[in-house]
Amino acid sequence: MKKICVIGTGYVGLVNGTGFADLGNLVVTVDINEKKIEQLKNGYMPIYEPGLAEMVERNVRAGRLHFTTSYEEGLTDAEFVFICVGTPSGVDGEADLQYVRSAAETIAKTMTHSLIIINKSTVPVGTGDFVTDIVKNTQPKPIPFSVVSCPEFLREGSAVQDFLHPDRTVLGSTSRQAAEAVAQLYLSLRAPIMMTDLRTAEMIKYASNAFLATRISFINEISIICEKLGADVTEVAQGMGFDKRIGHHFLQAGVGYGGSCFPKDVKALAHMAQTHGMHPQLLNAVTDINNFQRKHVILKLDDLLGELQGKTVSLLGLAFKENTDDIRESPAISIAEHLLERGAIVKAYDPVAMENTTQILPAIVMCANPYEAVQDADAVVIATPWNEFKQLDMAKLRDAMRQPILLDGRNLYEPAKMIDLGFNYRGVGRGYNGSGVTESLRALVD
């Protein structure tokens, strides 16, 4: 059993802290937010993540997981301390390291024995050196320590499974001994462990997220071309994916990516490149395409409804993806904001994200279920691919609407079936609009 301190109780900190406790370690999780710590002590989860509440409860009951606002309590007898704090986007897209700095300074002032400090937060390349300098310069007296970069690769909605069954663990450090000590924590997960230098480990995280975001923006741009040429992007993606060099993952066209990672990480990587005199054309294009994909929904509604002022548009889904209550950078929130600015009445339903949404967009009318949400609606937008929405009684949904306009932003339904049910259906790149294709081909021949 190892004694581990985790700084931060967000998605990364809470999942990792609980996961290490579940592996048999003694974990103390520290957060300066007194309300959040009190909630956790009382069994209330500040986030929705499948399987996490049960795991927290089990490890608290077993005495392996503790929550506190005290760094002193967290660092007492600890061998490892994980920094799992937020790194939000700054004004120019750069990662804001104020919370990392604060955590490093407090660790330096509090530590009384040798520690291995692990950066788990997504941080700019060079942050390992930054943390090393902060700790050295802040310590009241010199105490040996090492810094290891161990980027997280958890997906919201499946974070518990991702912790227990990772694709790999990446460790970067100037101290091979420290990296090997951290590797021991992960051995029981039986996944590949890669050891490298600090900056390479930090770059692996950014490059991974940027590549996945690029795949999403690529297929979304293809979807718009498909709409114009009458092709079906879902079949295009399937045909592409059979090529082993390409694969099927992250080729689902939709309303764009969101969440706490992809948007800010792509911007942060682009900012790092720009500050070093480079022009990150691809990264900038990935962000531009993602932003346009949300506006494209509004353009479709303009085409279908004519005037949005006074029209009722229902959103099914508010979280940026299924199985989470996280609305950060959610496409649904962006779409709702555009609709409200245009004078539309916005009604919505989401299984778990309505409370979070009400705090930032109180003008949205929240509903108890999908059928209530679409009552007397002029159009409905499927914004989050919850499994619940795949099981809806679509005839009942149609009958509740003022106009049967269905904009399927996640391609959950078969276009032909929806049209047969009487919907004016629009998917994403589903080839329902082939007008102009014949003329274009004729022009090429001529």
CA 229 distance to own-chain centroid: 32
288's CB contacts (< 8 A; 6+ apart) are none
Q: Which two tokens stand for residue 395?
A: 């005839």
Q: How many CB atoms sit inside 10 A of residue 435's CB?
A: 9
Q: Which two tokens stand for residue 289?
A: 């395409």
Per the CB < 8 A criterion, the answer to whether 8 and 84 are in contact is: yes
Catalytic residue among 5, 150, 261, 367: 261
How far apart are alpha carbons 364 and 346 in whole angstroms?
Answer: 5
- Tell me the pLDDT tens digit for each residue of 199-234: 999 999 999 999 999 999 999 999 999 999 999 999
How far apart are alpha carbons 341 and 124 in whole angstroms?
Answer: 35
Amino acid 210: pLDDT: 98
How far apart are alpha carbons 78 and 115 in whole angstroms?
Answer: 7
Q: Is 261 a catalytic residue?
A: yes
The dihedral formed by the CA atoms of 17, 19, 25 and 31, expressed in degrees to the nearest 10: 10
Residues of the chain with pLDDT under 50: 433-442
| Fold match between domain 3-196 and domain 209-426 | yes
Q: At what angle do helices 52-61 and 11-22 cross, to 10 degrees?
A: 50
Average pLDDT over the chain reads 95
Locus of tokens 């579940």: 22
Annotation: CATH topology of 209-426: Rossmann fold (3.40.50)
Per the CB < 8 A criterion, the answer to whether 193 and 168 are in contact is: yes
What residue segments make up the domains of the chain, in order of their start?
Answer: 3-196, 209-426
Q: What is the pTM of this model?
A: 0.93
Amino acid 202: pLDDT: 97
Vertex 242 angle, CA 236 and 243, to 5°: 100
User: 6 in helix, strand or coil?
Assistant: strand
Q: Which CATH superfamily is domain 3-196 in?
A: NAD(P)-binding Rossmann-like Domain (3.40.50.720)
How far apart are alpha carbons 115 and 119 in whole angstroms?
Answer: 13
